[in-house]
Structure formats: C-alpha cells, structure tokens
Chain A
Amino acid sequence: GAGVSQSPSNKVTEKGKDVELRCDPISGHTALYWYRQSLGQGLEFLIYFQGNSAPDKSGLPSDRFSAERTGGSVSTLTIQRTQQEDSAVYLCASSQEGATYNEQFFGPGTRLTVL
C-alpha cells in the first residue's frame, strides 16, 4: 500500500513568512511523529500524536511551531515567522502503536530553506 507522503518536497521561503508542511500517514496508523533534521545531524523530535490523546509537544523549539492532526489522519506542521535557523529537513513518521512491531514508517521529508 501507499507509504507516508509529505508535501511539499521542497519549500523556499523568506525570513518572517509562515509555512505549512503536510504529512499523510499510512492509513490506520494511530501514531504520528514530526522530526527535524539538520544537515548531517540526528533526528530532533518535535511532536507526537497518538490516537485521541493530547499530543506530546515537548519537542517544539518555540511557540512559533505548532501542529495539528485532523480526524486522526493528516497532520500539518506550521512554522510562523520563519527564521534562518529553521532551515532543515522536516520528517514525518507514522506507526501502529500497540502492534507487536510498531516500527515507524518515515516520509521522504520536506526540505525547508529560509532565506
């Protein structure tokens, strides 16, 4: 079946603008994660949605970052008043929590460049 998809694949924006990044998880997956990865660096956890529970927002770096997940499916990560240090690849992953193998399936990422 279809994997995790993300759009856009690339986004170039000017400092101060708002951006929205979209993630379509695998159908039926209850958990959805957002990560940020700077060039050559590890995965920085941003936010975690699990079913109807309150999201774990502990990784969001500032109040300029927010995310929502509508209907337990599609998620949007919004970055307001973008800064140059926001430039990175934003990865989304989904998993079926509670299953024996609850591995995360990653999307291809959105490469964000803030000029």
Chain B
Amino acid sequence: GQQVMQIPQYQHVQEGEDFTTYCNSSTTLSNIQWYKQRPGGHPVFLIQLVKSGEVKKQKRLTFQFGEAKKNSSLHITATQTTDVGTYFCAGRWGNNRLAFGKGNQVVVIP
C-alpha cells in the first residue's frame, strides 16, 4: 500500500539548536498530518497541511507542505528539552485511510 517515508529515523539534538525532520511520499498526497509522541505517552495531533506549498507555524515549530504535495517537513528552532519524543507524519491519498510513517525519534542533549 501507499506509505510515507520519514528521515532521519533518529536524531540527537543539542539544546538550543535547530533541527528538521522530513516526510516523503512517492505519490501526491491529499493532505498530511503531524503528530508528537512523548516518551511513555500516546501520539498527539500537531497540525494538518492540505494546500500545495502551505506553511504553518506553531511557536518554534514550522510545518511545510511541498509544492507537489509529495513531501513535508517539520522544523524546530531553539530546541528545548520538552521537544524530546517521536514525531510522526501521516499521509492520506484520496479518501483512503491515514497512513503513518515510522517516526523520527528525537533525543535532546542538555
């Protein structure tokens, strides 16, 4: 079935630095969602992107949807220890069910 690929799978980030995580599909997406799962918790919805080239910001987080609607990125600035966790993207093609990527596990180094 269709799937989204996330890179990298793991990241170690120094507190205060920026990092980006990527999500790619081989075919055009209807929309893409991002979720965050804290250690020991369950995934929590962050945002949904629908339009080609869309950019949305949430404080230190910037989400982008590519012009071709085949890729997306999440960029976090000035990383804090509270940013630790796994970031999942989830893509939808047409009216099919949402499909999650394998996640990007982020460790923050104080």
A and B interact physically: yes
Give the 9 A-B CB pairs with smallest separation, nearest first. Answer: A42-B102, A103-B45, A106-B42, A43-B100, A42-B103, A48-B97, A106-B43, A101-B48, A109-B42
A43 to B86, CA, bound (A): 11
A106 touches B97 (CB 8 A): no
Number of interface residues of B (CB under 8 A): 19
Given contacts A56-B97, A103-B33, contact A91 B105 (CB under 8 A): no
- A43 and B88 contacting across the interface, CB-CB below 8 Å: yes
Do the beta carbons of B97 and A43 come within 8 Å of each other? no
Interface residues contributed by chain A, number (CB under 8 Å):
24
Q: Which chain A residues have a beta carbon within 8 Å of chain B's beta carbons? A: 31, 33, 35, 40-43, 45, 48, 50, 56, 58, 91, 93, 95, 101-109
**A43 CA to B105 CA in the complex, in Å?**
13
Task: Tell me, rounded to whole Å, the shortest Cβ–Cβ distance linking A86 to chain B.
Answer: 19
Q: Would B101 and A42 count as touching, CB distance under 8 A?
A: yes
